[in-house]
Amino acid sequence: MAKRLQIEQWKSQILRNLNMFVSRVRLVVHNLPSTLDDFKFRKIFEHHGPPTAIIREARVMRDIKDVDIKGVGKSKEYGFISFTKHEDALQALRNVNNNPNIFTSNRRPIVSFSIENRIMINAKRKRLEKSRENNPLWTGNKMKRKKRKYE
């Protein structure tokens, strides 16, 4: 219960910044087991979410400075999951949050809508657009490729 209160206090403090907002389609999940990987994390939400839900991204956050023998970073015990629709994210939140059957009754997931930074989202969008422009195989590329004449 103390961890939930601490997270809520942090959220209310961070939301004072006008560049921060609550996402409608991205969830943050705290209190994850350290052994959970991205694949298992996605499977949990595929199983407990709506059957028609499309998951865009599922990622467990890892510490890249503290790696194990396999070269995988140690889990920070929280992760993010993105859906395409708000209704799917809301249903998944309701099914997974504080559910004792997911991990153990002593370790229940703490699920809430993620807090996003407008500046970071715009920077990510610009990087993606620049990457697409530099990719000659992208179909929306405005630059015309020169056709070679074979003799």
Provide the whole-model pTM.
0.78
Rounded CA gap, 96 and 75, in Å?
Answer: 20
CATH number of 1-119, picked from 3.30.70.330, 3.30.70.260, 1.10.443.10, 3.40.50.2300: 3.30.70.330
Backbone angles phi, psi at 97, to 5 degrees: -60, 125
- Give me the pLDDT at residue 41, please: 92
Residue 46 tokens, joined: 């595929």
- Reference 116, options 149, 89, 94; nearest CA is 89
The tens-digit pLDDT sequence of the chain (151 residues) is 788 888 888 888 888 889 899 999 999 999 999 888 999 999 999 999 899 999 999 999 999 888 888 878 888 999 999 999 999 999 999 999 998 888 877 889 999 999 999 999 999 999 989 998 888 887 775 555 555 455 4
Report whether 44 contacts 93 (CB < 8 A).
Answer: no
- Give me the pLDDT at residue 141, please: 56
- Give me the pLDDT at residue 151, please: 46
Domain ranges across the chain: 1-119
Report whether 78 contacts 27 (CB < 8 A).
Answer: no
- Give me the pLDDT at residue 69, please: 80
